[in-house]
Amino acid sequence: MRKLAIEVLLLAATGICAQAQQWEFGGLGGGSFLNDVTATAPSGSGKAGFQTGGVFGVFLGQNMTNHIGGEIRYEYFQTGLELKNGSASTTWAGQGHAIHYDLLFHTAPKPSGMEIFVAVGGGMKVFRGTGPEIANQPLSQFGYFTKTQALKPMADVGAGVRFPISKRLFLRIEVRDFITAFPTAVLTPPAIVKYGSLLNDIVPMAGLSLAF
């Protein structure tokens, strides 16, 4: 009798866990807005950084409890490199790739079905220079564009809302901040130039997801 009771309790617990662990797969698109860093040289100062560009991503998530979930995500960034000095500027083709895992903390669904969530996590981001090599690059006194790549540790934070479209289909709107060190292997300062160290990539995105 005791053995039967234990088996019933185990089955009930398994059923509860199965209900809580809802999976979700989706895709997102948006824009990437990075800050410039100061390029300090003996002759003056300029700006080094990345152009505004498009972002596309996918994610696979799991709701582990009613208020806590987790996601593994990938994003592709189409963001060119840029040097500026006053009104003068020069650009070069570039891109980025990020993979990371985030914890999500969300409210219970409202009567409308809307959920509000905050996210915090980390992973890695690859910066790549993809343009053609230039013999005489403008503004080279502040930096050099290189056809190479740099892998940087990344932290990210963000917040968003999720709306049900149907029982299993959801609309999602969010804003993330992807935080990394500046990739000096891709946009390289001359020996006498110093760059600022931190990049904040503010990324608003919207997309659809399917629960299963």
Instruction: Identify the residue with better confidence: 43 or 202.
Output: 202
Q: Is residue 16 part of a domain?
A: no
Q: Is residue 2 part of a domain?
A: no
Name the residue range of residue 189's domain. Answer: 21-211
Domain count for the chain: 1
Q: Is residue 10 part of a domain?
A: no
Domain membership of residue 52 (yes or no) is yes
Cα–Cα distance, 167 to 209 (Å, whole number): 11
176, with CB counted inside 10 A (0-12, 13-18, 19+), is buried
Residue 15 lies inside a defined structural domain of this protein: no
Question: Collapsing DSSP states into helix, strand and coil, what is residue 45?
Answer: strand
Q: What is the mean pLDDT of residues 40-49?
A: 92
Record the pTM: 0.86
CATH code assigned at 117: 2.40.160.20
pLDDT in tens, 181-212: 999 999 999 999 999 999 999 999 999 999 99
For all residues of the chain together, what is the average pLDDT? 90
Question: Under DSSP, is residue 2 helix (H, G, I), strand (E, B) or coil?
Answer: helix
Written as six digits, the tokens of 159 are 């917040």
Q: Output the pLDDT for position 21.
A: 54
**Would 188 be classed as within a structural domain?**
yes
Residue 95 lies in a domain: yes
